[in-house]
Structure 1
């Protein structure tokens, strides 16, 4: 299991084909903690996603970090969420806002293989995280 986003990035770049990256994405999705059904409420849904995506974001002032948990009802989106969560793990709001998530997904070779609606879903998730980070600068 990868420990951080840079490790994940190196691993994905080393994979040759889209099929290998897709398989790795599915395996990453299995690493997400299961979200309790009680938390899968409409208020937690991310608007703009084709699949159901539930996300909670909190801010821990003592560590100056965002805490993000998320889940989806589809395997591919769970894998994409795992990538996003690794990208933002242990980051301050300022560090989060400095990340160009679209560029990172492009470098991983993922965006060009996703449907436009999945790409829009990724953007919606990132926008929600960025908006929360802006509130806690």
Structure 2
């Protein structure tokens, strides 16, 4: 089970060494709930990622209070950790809250952005864009 987002942020704030941060990311990836094999489809692949990343988003309700549940996976350890962080941050949240939460700023504030390759950074942006795009689509839907 993934830790709460606040706990993840606190843990990253305690880790100043980039190697320790990457080890923690990999640990988060190990804690990511398994994504059912049947959801590993081409439609769920996130374009722009260096590694293969699958995102499955389900919604309950409609409008800005609709809740998104996210299942995700990656075939690379560090990327899977980034995915786990996003799942912890966004899954189970209402669309309104997802749109108010800037994961990319959070990553920069934690200093993670400076240690991640540009390709991985672009992939992270693609993942966040896909999640926030779905939240925007759901939020705009009539209740």
TM-score (normalizing by structure 1) = 0.93
Deviations along 1:14-49, one digit per CA (max 9) or x if unpaired, are 112111111111111001122233221111101111
8 Å Cα contact 2:2/2:32 also seen in 1: no
Distance 1:39 1:2, change over 3 A: closer
* Structure 2 CA distance for aligned equivalents of residues 37 and 61 of structure 1: 26
Work out the number of aligned pairs and report it: 137
The alignment partner of 1:55 has SS state of strand
Alignment gaps of 5+ in structure 2: none
* Structure 1 CA distance for aligned equivalents of residues 129 and 2 of structure 2: 25
Deviations along 1:59-94, one digit per CA (max 9) or x if unpaired, are 111873101110000001110001111111331101
* Structure 2 CA distance for aligned equivalents of residues 96 and 128 of structure 1: 11
Alignment gaps of 5+ in structure 1: none
* Structure 2 CA distance for aligned equivalents of residues 35 and 66 of structure 1: 16
RMSD of aligned alpha carbons? 1.5
In structure 1, what is the equivalent of residue 128 of structure 2? 126
TM-score (normalizing by structure 2) = 0.90
* Structure 2 CA distance for aligned equivalents of residues 84 and 13 of structure 1: 17
In structure 1, what is the equivalent of residue 89 of structure 2? 87
